[in-house]
Amino acid sequence: MPFDDKLVADTITSLASLLGLMMVISVVGGRDPGDPLSRRFLFGLRVLAVLLACRILDWITGLGVFRLATIVAAGLLPLAALLLTEGLLRRHAPLVLKSFAAGGAVLFLLLAMIPERFVEPWRMALLLLFQFGGFLAIGWLVVMRDRASLSSAENRTVERMALSLLLIIPFMITDYRPGLVDMPVRLGGIAILFLCWLTIGLGRAGLGHRDTIAAFAVIALSSVFAGLALGGIDHIGWRGSVQAVVIVLSATLLAVIYNDSVSLSAEKRRESLLKHMAEGDLTDSARFLRGLQNHILVEGALILTTGELGDFDLKVLAAALNQAPVRSMADVHPDSPLDQDTREQLTWLFEKYEATHVLLATSDPLTLVLLKMSALAASAGVEMELRAVQRMAMLISQRERAA
């Protein structure tokens, strides 16, 4: 099969989508592969991956077996999407919709076996109508769902999937040619990459829908600018410019998906102080604090008791740390609201032990934990974890006194 500009652009976009799907499959499969919802989602993602892989191989080799597999996978998409939607909504879809999705999958399994010269282009037109109708019906289920029966996290997940439908439904029309729509490049791959990005984003609870849409808009506008600039430099015309925009957008989305998946993996492996709270020895405060000394983020933490703080004004230190149980070098800045005695005591404490942070571990007797952390390591998240560890140590101490 000759490689023209359309085929090159389609192949690059589809390959980027396939790589994005493989990353998402790895992320979703690593979360909880035994979960029924995860299995449904993985089934849909794998159907999409098979469709893209076989389509690329069909374009490159021209072998009929890949064309057959592409049509079969395309016919399975509404059924896979419906199964996922049922899992997300925790409700059965209407029987007529189930029959439509399952019957369509069987129909296109049979139609895929008929030679192309006998069934085209009406087979592609029928497949387009089937997918379009299936996705519209699924969108209707999502919009009409009983929101009160789902948790806020479940509603958030459903809404993320609905966002991807906003692109999938119009963009998939461009995937059906020749004869139906003459586009310079298929855009279905962009919708798939957007779906992959939304899926990766489900692992980030703080990322809202508005943030996602704004980020996608920035990426899309940047890609349009880059593609048009390339078109203007090489004078490739509007068709070449559209292809350049889509290729740049595909590559950018793939890079973002990869970066987010790596960040999620790193976050999963990260030795946070919360892990110490969950797995540390909570028998007594002394053992809990000794375990903290071995943590990678605060390795070498120094534990000081009342007897080792004889050079300091214990009343001033206790008052300062009861007011704010976690103090850092920033608190002793000349412009800080602390009084002079408190600032001098904390400054001396930090300088004597070359520490950057101090935690109040127990009030009676007074026990302090001094840490040495670089300014780069002391991120906002780590600061919050330090406060959580301090509170845990205080709770253990209070439990010991009550016993």
CB proximity list for 69: less than 8 A, separation 6 or greater:
50, 54, 112
SS (H, E, C) 28-45: HHHHCCCCHHHHHHHHHH
> Do the Cβ atoms of 349 and 358 come closer than 8 Å?
yes
pLDDT in tens, 11-50: 999 999 999 999 988 888 776 666 788 888 889 899 999 9
Rounded to whole angstroms, the Cα distance separating 131 from 27 reads 27
CATH topology of domain 5-269: Rhopdopsin 7-helix transmembrane proteins (1.20.1070)
Give the count of alpha carbons within 13 A of 55, CB side only.
26
CA dist 133 and 228 (Å) reads 34
Q: pTM of the entire structure?
A: 0.70
Residues of the chain with CATH 1.20.1070: 5-269
Residues 6+ positions from 250 with CB-CB distance below 8 Å: 12, 13, 16, 17, 189, 190, 193
User: Model confidence over 144-154: pLDDT tens digits?
Assistant: 888 888 887 77
The sign of the CA dihedral 275, 276, 277, 283 is positive
For residue range 284-338, what is the model confidence (pLDDT) as tens digits? 666 776 666 666 555 567 778 888 887 788 888 888 888 888 888 878 877 777 8
Q: Cβ contacts of residue 342 below 8 Å, gap of 6+?
A: 316, 319, 320
- Structural tokens at position 382: 């780590």
Give the amino acid at 8: V
